[in-house]
Chains A and B, each alone.
Chain A
Amino acid sequence: MTSSPDTWTVAGRTFSSRLIVGTGKYASYEQNAAAAEAAGAEIVTVAVRRVNLTDPNQPMLVDHVKPDRFTFLPNTAGCFTGEDAVRTLRLAREAGGWDLVKLEVLSDTAHLYPDMLETLRALDLLTKDGFQVMVYCTDDVVMAKRLEDAGAAAVMPAAAPIGSGLGIQNRVNIGLIVEQAKVPVLVDAGVGTPSDATLAMELGCDAVLMNTAIAGARDPILMAGAMKHAVMAGRQGYLAGRMPRRMYASASSPLSGLI
């Protein structure tokens, strides 16, 4: 019996790594690149911003985290309307030719939860413009289905507020979203520890997206390696199928033949 490699596919692109890492909040782009390598990441999220006109020689992300090494997933962080998101991603597409993008339309800067009505509207605009859209969303089972029906390439529910590191707040919702989805499901935002990432994968998520959990660790490169293993452990645990939960004890050693 041959075993096929355990890959996942989004918008026709197939990946082996189930850990997507952000590129924000690192001490330097060098550290960022080293962490992405240690994480075994194949996809990195990136943001689009105005160039610094006063110092055109300052370090650039693409000189360190290289687009020929990683699949860039441009985001719409900081966008509050569908029009902002479309404008930002059209610029991203011009900058690098990417049509696989991450949509996030935020509501309130205090919690950074997405405005789902505006997100759904932006998804429609982007899909009509030819983008393949991975959508940051709330962990709302009904809304996840709406996004999928509207053409989302993947749904990416938040485990907890962006950058909070609080871990999966509602594992029932994440599990239900996984169960109903026919597109990849990724936990995006809120992971704090390797065990949070493992839990996301044990729930059946296709991948996990994180930034601050690695960038905000005391040793980001060590944490990146830990997250890589955590995601793999969770995935294998999911594939292996966990033992049934029982109310009472069940002895592991035989009760017969005692001396």
Chain B
Amino acid sequence: MRIQLNGEDRDVAATTILALVEELGLDVRKVAVERNLEIVPKSLHADTPVTEGDRIEVVQFVGGG
């Protein structure tokens, strides 16, 4: 399935946000996910589908001033 992930086109196998975060090798506790401009709370990761053409952002805290 083709989605736009952090601004880049990407083929993924995951069909839920939780599976996507795991597929990417990320620690779910350390990232935040936005799907089509809506925040996906961690409690809903397992129930939120990933569908063709979704625009998904996965962010983390980095150093900043």
Contact = CB atoms under 8 A, between A and B. Distances in A.
The judgment on whether A and B are partners is yes
B6 A53 contact: yes
Contacts of B40: 94
Interface residues of B, number: 27
A183 interface: no
A29 B65 contact: no
Contact of B63 (A61, A74, A96): A61
B34 A60 contact: no
Contact of A92 (B8, B26, B32, B65): B32
Interface of B is mostly: strand
Contact of A48 (B6, B26, B61): B61
Interface of A is mostly: mixed
A229 to B, nearest CB: 21
Most buried by A among B8, B31, B64: B64
A146 interface: no
A95 B26 CA distance: 13
A257 interface: no
A123 B1 CA distance: 39
Contacts of B31: 51, 95
B59 A48 contact: yes
A153 B41 CA distance: 26
> What 7 A-B pairs are tightest by C-beta distance, nearest first?
A47-B64, A22-B65, A211-B65, A95-B32, A23-B63, A56-B25, A94-B32
25 contacts: A23-B63, A23-B65, A25-B65, A46-B62, A47-B62, A48-B61, A49-B59, A49-B60, A50-B59, A51-B6, A51-B58, A51-B59, A53-B5, A56-B24, A60-B60, A61-B60, A77-B64, A87-B37, A92-B61, A94-B32, A94-B40, A162-B65, A209-B65, A211-B64, A211-B65
